[in-house]
Structure 1
Amino acid sequence: MATSSLGSDDLKSRFAAAALALQEPPKVRSRVRVRNRVNNIFFHDARGEVVNFLFSTLRQHEVPIWEAYHSAYDFAEEYKDELHSAKIAFNEDCESFSWSDWYTLLTNCAMKFLHNYTVNEHEFPPKPVDWDKFCFSTFEHRNSKPTMEDRKLVLPKFSVIEPGVENTYQDASLFGVFDGHGGVECADYCIAHFPECLINVQSSTASVDDLLPNAFNAIDKRINHFCTSESLSGGTTASVALIHDNVVHYAWIGDSGIGLLKGKQIIQLSTHHNLSNIKEEERVKAAGSEILFIYGEKRVDGVLNITRALGHPGAKASIISEPDVGKFEIGPDDFILFIASDGIWDVASKDEMLADIVSFVKSNPSSDFSDLAKAIGTPVRKHSIDNCMLLVVFLKPVEEVWKHCSML
Structure 2
Amino acid sequence: MEDAHISMPSFLCSSSKLVDLASSKSAPLHFFGVLDGHGGEACAEYCGDALPKQLKKSLSSGLPISASLVTAHAAVEVDWFREADRDDSGTTAVTALIESASGRVLASNVGDSRVLVVRRSGKSGSKVVALTRDHDGNNKQEAKRIKVAHGEIDQDGYINRGLTSTCVGVQTARSLGDFDVKYPIDDEDDGHFHSASVICTPELEWCDLEDDDILVLGCDGLFEASEGSAVWIGKMVRKLEAQEYTAQDTAEALAQEAIDMGSGDNVSVIVVKPS
Is the pair's TM-score, using the shorter chain for normalization, greater than 0.5? Answer: yes
Q: Indicate the residue corresponding to 2:244 in structure 1.
A: 365
Provide the residue aligned with 2:2 in structure 1: 149
Quote the offset at 1:381 in angstroms. 1.9
Whether 1:266 and 2:128 are equivalent positions in the alignment is yes
Query: Counterparts of 1:205 and 1:239 in 2: how far apart (Å)?
Result: 23
Residue 272 and residue 204 in structure 1: after superposition, are their counterparts in 2 closer, same or farther (change >3 A)? same
Tell me by how many angstroms 1:304 deviates.
Answer: 1.1
Task: Tell me the equivalent position of 1:390.
Answer: 269
CA distance in 2, matches of 1:353, 1:208: 29
1:217 aligns with 2:74: yes
| Sequence identity (%) | 27
Q: Aligned equivalents of 2:247 and 2:5: distance in 1? A: 18
8 Å Cα contact 2:17-2:62 kept in structure 1: no
Preserved CA contact (<8 Å) 1:257 1:345 = no
Aligned with 2:38 (options 154, 177, 181): 181
Q: Secondary structure at the match of 2:257?
A: helix
- Distance in 1 (alpha carbons) for counterparts of 2:237 and 2:60: 41
Look up the match of 1:378.
256
Report the CA distance between 1:232 and its aligned residue: 1.0
The correspondence for 1:322, drawn from 201, 204, 208, is 201
Provide the rounded CA distance (Å) in 2 between the counterparts of 1:388 and 1:211: 28
Look up the equivalent residue of 2:230 and give its one-letter code: K
Shift of 1:340: 0.6
Letter in 1 for 2:232: E
- Normalising by structure 1, report the TM-score: 0.54
Contact 1:205 1:214 (C-alpha < 8 Å) held by counterparts: no
Residues 298-377 of structure 1 correspond to what in structure 2 (within 5 A)? 298-302=157-161, 303-314=169-180, 315=182, 316-332=195-211, 335-348=213-226, 349-362=229-242, 364-365=243-244, 368-377=246-255
Find the aligned partners of 1:327 and 1:195 in 2 and give their Cα distance: 19
What is the Cα-based RMSD across aligned positions, in Å?
2.2
- Write the deviation string for residues 90-120 of structure 1: whole angstroms up to 9, x where unpaired: xxxxxxxxxxxxxxxxxxxxxxxxxxxxxxx
Equivalent residue, structure 2, for 1:158: 11
Measured in 2, the distance between the counterparts of 1:352 and 1:284 equals 33
Is the Cα contact below 8 Å between 1:167 and 1:199 reproduced in 2?
no
Per the alignment, do residues 283 and 388 of structure 1 end up closer, same or farther by CA in structure 2, a change over 3 Å counting? same
Q: Secondary structure at the match of 1:388?
A: coil
CA shift at 1:208, angstroms? Answer: 2.8
Name the CA shift for 1:361/1:158 in 2 (closer, same or farther; >3 Å). closer
Q: Secondary structure at the match of 1:201?
A: helix
Of the three residues 276, 284, 307, the one matched with 2:138 is: 276
Residues 214/231 of structure 1: CA separation in 2 closer, same or farther (3 Å cut) = closer
Mapped pair 1:289 → 2:168: no
* 1:308-361 superposed Cα distances (whole Å, 9 cap, x missing partner): 0011234112111111001122233x6111111011133343222223223323
Q: Distance in 2 between matches of 1:393 and 1:365?
A: 14
- In structure 2, C-alpha distance between the alignment counterparts of 1:181 and 1:392, rounded to whole Å: 23
Aligned equivalents of 2:32, 2:153: Cα separation in 1: 33
Q: Report how far residue 194 of structure 1 moved.
A: 1.4
Deviation at 1:369, TM superposition (A): 4.3
2:95 aligns with 240
Give SS of 1:250's match: strand
How far apart are residue 192 of structure 1 and its match? 2.0
Distance 1:248 1:209 in 2: 12
Matched residue SS, 2:173? coil
Q: Distance in 2 between matches of 1:376 and 1:309?
A: 25
Consecutive unaligned residues in structure 2, runs of 5 or more: 122-126, 162-168, 183-194
TM-score w.r.t. the length of structure 2 is 0.78
Shift of 1:159: 4.7
1:224 is paired with a residue whose SS is helix
Is the partner of 2:272 in helix, strand or coil? strand
Distance 1:167 1:374, change over 3 A: farther
Residues 354 and 203 of structure 1, relative CA distance in 2, 3 Å threshold: closer
Structure 1 unaligned spans of 5+: 1-147, 397-408
Q: Measure the CA separation in 1 of the matches of 2:178 and 2:231.
A: 35
Between the two proteins, the alignment pairs up a number of residues equal to 237
Kindly indicate which of the two structures has a greater share of residues assigned to helix: 1
